[in-house]
Structure 1
Amino acid sequence: MLLRLVYLTVTTVFAFMRLLPESDRDKEIEILVLRHQVAVLQRQVAKPALTPGDRFLLAGLLGHLSMDKLRHLTLLVRPETILRWHRDLLRRGHSAACTPRRRGRPRTISSIRLLVLRLARENPSWGYRRIHGELAALAITVAASTVWEP
């Protein structure tokens, strides 16, 4: 899907670049022709099948327009649908940025892990409670479970 999205983005950029040297009159004629083609397709197809990449592109391009401007455009879907896709896109993007990369408890700092292993190796008669107490005396605060499974 990501490859398709990149492909759609690149082809859209090249399509926009193709329009740069054209005159305004040529662009307006092309827009009118495209609008008419969309109207013809809307009469033939009951419900268009849009891929997630199509939705992403439409939501990204049209999501910042006001509802009045969206209502005046000839679209394959209702303006409310475009705005819903845009809200979903923002929500998914924001939630992906806020979720931590790793699930669960963070790893123990390697220096503390090495210190626990060294204390256990140098004092084989000590249990995890004694090692945990020694770490507390050194002002290193870790859970007892961190000591018994370093």
Structure 2
Amino acid sequence: MSGVVAQARPAHRLTADLTSHLGVGIGAGSGWKILSQAGVDPAPRRAGPTWRQFLTAQAHTILACDFFTVDTVFLKRIYVLFFIELATRQVHVAGVTAHPPGTWVAQQARNPLMALDQRFGWLRFLLRDRDAKFTAAFDRVFTAAGIDVLRTPPQAPRVNAFAERWVGTVRRECTDRMPIVGEQHLSSVPTEYTAHYNGHRPHRSLGQQPPNPPPQVIDLTAARIQRRPILGGLINEYTQAA
């Protein structure tokens, strides 16, 4: 028993070893209790950086992607494919469709690469989940450009936390607050909101600056402020008047 614990094996490996060598059935809970009493975590960290350390060190080289869905007033589900740069938090909406086959998703994969332009050369990794809509043809678009595709573990949304956080933001501030009629209507809504998100919405992680801030600096002591409503007045942007 002490030899098994000393090797710091996970609980399911411990129970398998006991069953195969001793012929004694033992549950995963008992294996966890044995490891816990010995001061060993169920799944100790291997050599190398943690996932958070990896993301922090490689953020400027990582592009993440995901889908989010919007249900229309006619109960039709529409899919939105987007990409987000981890370093700058800048978002690129690649496409909107009610039927996202693998061929369509692979075709839309080229859009963010064109949008990145000169920054494209800095990319090393694409982070995505294991959704079946991300086919081998989708991955080849990035691997052909020298970008490695990182797939998240099953049922682990926190691994792609940057993309998941943006989904929550766009829903709370935009799509959950306005009725969507159809695919054509939705195709314009994320584009307009993303322009606001990238150019005006402040981010705490960026020192209250947007991902792509405007060049002018507003002097609140002398400037006249102009309000510009977007999305039909759902959100307001404030800029210095000319």
For normalisation by structure 2, the TM-score amounts to 0.19
Q: Which has the higher contact order (CA 8 A, sep 6+)?
A: 1
Q: Which has the higher strand share?
A: 2
For normalisation by structure 1, the TM-score amounts to 0.25
Q: Which has the higher helix share?
A: 1
